[in-house]
Structure 1
Protein backbone atom coordinates (compact mmCIF):
# COMPACT_ATOMS: atom_id res chain seq x y z
CA UNK A 1 0.00 0.00 0.00
CA UNK A 2 1.29 3.42 -0.98
CA UNK A 3 -0.16 6.68 0.34
CA UNK A 4 0.40 10.00 -1.39
CA UNK A 5 -0.62 13.16 0.48
CA UNK A 6 -2.31 15.60 -1.88
CA UNK A 7 -3.10 18.40 0.59
CA UNK A 8 -2.23 19.14 4.21
CA UNK A 9 -4.28 21.97 5.78
CA UNK A 10 -3.95 23.19 9.37
CA UNK A 11 -7.06 24.33 11.27
CA UNK A 12 -5.92 26.24 14.39
CA UNK A 13 -9.47 26.76 15.73
CA UNK A 14 -10.09 23.02 16.07
CA UNK A 15 -6.44 22.08 16.78
CA UNK A 16 -6.26 19.65 13.89
CA UNK A 17 -4.90 19.09 10.40
CA UNK A 18 -6.88 17.87 7.42
CA UNK A 19 -5.03 15.46 5.14
CA UNK A 20 -6.34 14.68 1.64
CA UNK A 21 -4.66 11.54 0.33
CA UNK A 22 -4.59 8.98 -2.46
CA UNK A 23 -3.94 5.28 -1.77
CA UNK A 24 -2.61 2.80 -4.31
CA UNK A 25 -2.98 -0.82 -3.24
CA UNK A 26 -3.06 -4.44 -4.40
CA UNK A 27 -5.90 -6.74 -3.42
CA UNK A 28 -8.73 -5.52 -1.21
CA UNK A 29 -9.21 -1.92 -0.14
CA UNK A 30 -7.16 -1.28 3.04
CA UNK A 31 -9.10 -0.93 6.28
CA UNK A 32 -9.33 2.32 8.22
CA UNK A 33 -6.98 0.84 10.81
CA UNK A 34 -4.32 -0.02 8.19
CA UNK A 35 -4.58 3.50 6.74
CA UNK A 36 -4.33 5.08 10.21
CA UNK A 37 -1.21 3.04 11.04
CA UNK A 38 0.45 3.92 7.72
CA UNK A 39 -0.34 7.65 8.14
CA UNK A 40 0.93 7.54 11.73
CA UNK A 41 4.21 6.03 10.56
CA UNK A 42 4.54 8.61 7.77
CA UNK A 43 3.77 11.58 10.05
CA UNK A 44 5.59 10.15 13.10
CA UNK A 45 2.59 10.55 15.43
CA UNK A 46 0.28 8.29 17.43
CA UNK A 47 -2.45 6.54 15.45
CA UNK A 48 -4.90 7.37 18.27
CA UNK A 49 -4.87 11.03 17.17
CA UNK A 50 -5.91 10.20 13.58
CA UNK A 51 -9.51 9.95 12.38
CA UNK A 52 -10.01 8.57 8.87
CA UNK A 53 -13.17 10.37 7.81
CA UNK A 54 -13.74 9.13 4.28
CA UNK A 55 -12.40 6.57 1.78
CA UNK A 56 -13.73 6.58 -1.79
CA UNK A 57 -12.70 3.80 -4.18
CA UNK A 58 -12.02 4.69 -7.77
CA UNK A 59 -14.14 2.38 -9.93
CA UNK A 60 -12.05 -0.14 -11.85
CA UNK A 61 -8.78 0.96 -10.28
CA UNK A 62 -6.68 -0.22 -7.37
CA UNK A 63 -6.80 3.32 -6.02
CA UNK A 64 -8.84 5.20 -3.44
CA UNK A 65 -9.06 8.81 -2.32
CA UNK A 66 -9.88 9.93 1.17
CA UNK A 67 -9.28 12.36 3.94
CA UNK A 68 -8.22 12.13 7.53
CA UNK A 69 -8.08 14.51 10.46
CA UNK A 70 -5.06 14.61 12.74
CA UNK A 71 -5.70 16.15 16.15
CA UNK A 72 -3.12 17.79 18.42
CA UNK A 73 -4.42 15.93 21.50
CA UNK A 74 -6.95 13.24 22.46
CA UNK A 75 -9.18 15.59 24.49
CA UNK A 76 -9.82 17.80 21.47
CA UNK A 77 -10.59 14.74 19.34
CA UNK A 78 -13.19 13.50 21.86
CA UNK A 79 -14.82 16.93 22.22
CA UNK A 80 -15.04 17.71 18.47
CA UNK A 81 -15.78 14.37 16.76
CA UNK A 82 -19.16 12.61 16.82
CA UNK A 83 -19.38 9.39 18.80
CA UNK A 84 -20.10 7.23 15.75
CA UNK A 85 -16.97 8.53 13.98
CA UNK A 86 -14.84 7.72 17.03
CA UNK A 87 -16.40 4.25 17.20
CA UNK A 88 -15.80 3.69 13.47
CA UNK A 89 -12.10 4.51 13.89
CA UNK A 90 -11.41 2.25 16.87
CA UNK A 91 -9.02 -0.65 16.29
CA UNK A 92 -10.81 -3.99 15.65
CA UNK A 93 -9.75 -5.62 18.94
CA UNK A 94 -11.33 -2.82 20.99
CA UNK A 95 -14.70 -3.03 19.22
CA UNK A 96 -14.84 -6.86 19.57
CA UNK A 97 -14.06 -6.85 23.30
CA UNK A 98 -16.70 -4.19 24.06
CA UNK A 99 -19.47 -6.04 22.18
Structure 2
Protein backbone atom coordinates (compact mmCIF):
# COMPACT_ATOMS: atom_id res chain seq x y z
CA UNK A 1 0.00 0.00 0.00
CA UNK A 2 1.33 3.39 -1.00
CA UNK A 3 -0.17 6.59 0.38
CA UNK A 4 -0.05 9.90 -1.48
CA UNK A 5 -1.32 12.84 0.54
CA UNK A 6 -3.16 15.28 -1.70
CA UNK A 7 -4.12 17.82 0.96
CA UNK A 8 -3.00 18.29 4.56
CA UNK A 9 -4.60 21.31 6.23
CA UNK A 10 -4.65 22.46 9.82
CA UNK A 11 -8.08 23.42 11.22
CA UNK A 12 -7.31 25.38 14.38
CA UNK A 13 -10.95 26.04 15.29
CA UNK A 14 -11.69 22.32 15.61
CA UNK A 15 -8.21 21.22 16.82
CA UNK A 16 -7.63 18.85 13.92
CA UNK A 17 -5.77 18.18 10.68
CA UNK A 18 -7.75 17.28 7.57
CA UNK A 19 -6.17 14.88 5.08
CA UNK A 20 -7.18 13.92 1.56
CA UNK A 21 -5.23 10.95 0.24
CA UNK A 22 -4.90 8.48 -2.59
CA UNK A 23 -3.99 4.92 -1.69
CA UNK A 24 -2.69 2.49 -4.30
CA UNK A 25 -2.78 -1.21 -3.48
CA UNK A 26 -2.42 -4.64 -5.05
CA UNK A 27 -4.98 -7.41 -4.79
CA UNK A 28 -8.12 -7.00 -2.73
CA UNK A 29 -9.27 -3.64 -1.42
CA UNK A 30 -7.75 -3.10 2.04
CA UNK A 31 -10.08 -2.97 5.04
CA UNK A 32 -10.76 0.20 7.02
CA UNK A 33 -8.68 -1.30 9.84
CA UNK A 34 -5.64 -1.81 7.55
CA UNK A 35 -5.95 1.70 6.13
CA UNK A 36 -6.24 3.20 9.61
CA UNK A 37 -3.18 1.32 10.90
CA UNK A 38 -1.02 2.36 7.94
CA UNK A 39 -2.21 5.98 8.08
CA UNK A 40 -1.49 6.22 11.81
CA UNK A 41 1.97 4.71 11.34
CA UNK A 42 2.83 7.19 8.57
CA UNK A 43 1.51 10.22 10.46
CA UNK A 44 2.83 9.00 13.84
CA UNK A 45 -0.49 9.44 15.67
CA UNK A 46 -2.65 7.26 17.92
CA UNK A 47 -5.53 5.39 16.29
CA UNK A 48 -8.09 6.74 18.73
CA UNK A 49 -7.43 10.30 17.49
CA UNK A 50 -8.15 9.52 13.81
CA UNK A 51 -11.51 9.36 12.03
CA UNK A 52 -11.72 7.89 8.52
CA UNK A 53 -14.61 9.75 6.99
CA UNK A 54 -14.84 8.42 3.45
CA UNK A 55 -13.13 5.80 1.35
CA UNK A 56 -14.08 5.56 -2.31
CA UNK A 57 -12.85 3.10 -4.91
CA UNK A 58 -13.19 3.25 -8.68
CA UNK A 59 -14.17 0.26 -10.77
CA UNK A 60 -11.19 -1.44 -12.38
CA UNK A 61 -8.56 0.58 -10.54
CA UNK A 62 -6.30 -0.53 -7.74
CA UNK A 63 -6.53 2.77 -5.91
CA UNK A 64 -8.90 4.53 -3.60
CA UNK A 65 -9.41 8.08 -2.43
CA UNK A 66 -10.05 8.89 1.17
CA UNK A 67 -10.63 11.65 3.67
CA UNK A 68 -9.42 11.49 7.27
CA UNK A 69 -9.35 13.83 10.25
CA UNK A 70 -6.64 13.71 12.92
CA UNK A 71 -7.54 15.35 16.22
CA UNK A 72 -5.16 16.80 18.80
CA UNK A 73 -7.07 15.27 21.73
CA UNK A 74 -9.98 12.95 22.46
CA UNK A 75 -12.18 15.71 23.89
CA UNK A 76 -12.12 17.62 20.59
CA UNK A 77 -12.93 14.44 18.68
CA UNK A 78 -15.91 13.56 20.89
CA UNK A 79 -17.22 17.13 20.79
CA UNK A 80 -17.20 17.41 16.99
CA UNK A 81 -17.58 13.97 15.39
CA UNK A 82 -20.87 12.08 15.06
CA UNK A 83 -20.95 8.97 17.26
CA UNK A 84 -21.44 6.57 14.33
CA UNK A 85 -18.20 7.73 12.64
CA UNK A 86 -16.20 7.36 15.85
CA UNK A 87 -17.69 3.91 16.40
CA UNK A 88 -17.05 2.79 12.81
CA UNK A 89 -13.41 3.91 12.96
CA UNK A 90 -12.88 2.71 16.56
CA UNK A 91 -9.60 1.08 17.56
CA UNK A 92 -9.70 -2.67 18.32
CA UNK A 93 -8.52 -2.15 21.93
CA UNK A 94 -11.60 -0.04 22.62
CA UNK A 95 -13.89 -2.73 21.18
CA UNK A 96 -12.27 -5.41 23.36
CA UNK A 97 -12.65 -3.22 26.46
CA UNK A 98 -16.34 -2.58 25.71
CA UNK A 99 -16.99 -6.31 25.24
CA UNK A 100 -15.29 -7.06 28.55
CA UNK A 101 -17.39 -4.42 30.33
CA UNK A 102 -20.64 -5.86 28.93
CA UNK A 103 -19.81 -9.39 30.09
TM-score in terms of structure 2 length? 0.86
Runs of 4+ with deviation above 4 angstroms: none
| Residue in 1 that maps onto 2:43 | 43
What is the aligned residue count?
Answer: 98
> Which is greater in Rg?
2
| Residue 52 of structure 1, CA deviation | 0.5
Secondary structure at 1:61's aligned position in 2? Answer: coil
Give the aligned CA root-mean-square deviation in angstroms.
1.7
Structure 1 unaligned residues grouped into runs of 5+: none
**Greater per-residue helix proportion:** 2
Whole-angstrom CA distance in 2 between matches of 1:92 and 1:41: 15
1:60 matched to 2:66? The reply is: no
* In 2: Cα distance, 1:28 partner to 1:63 partner: 10
CA distance in 1, matches of 2:62, 2:32: 16
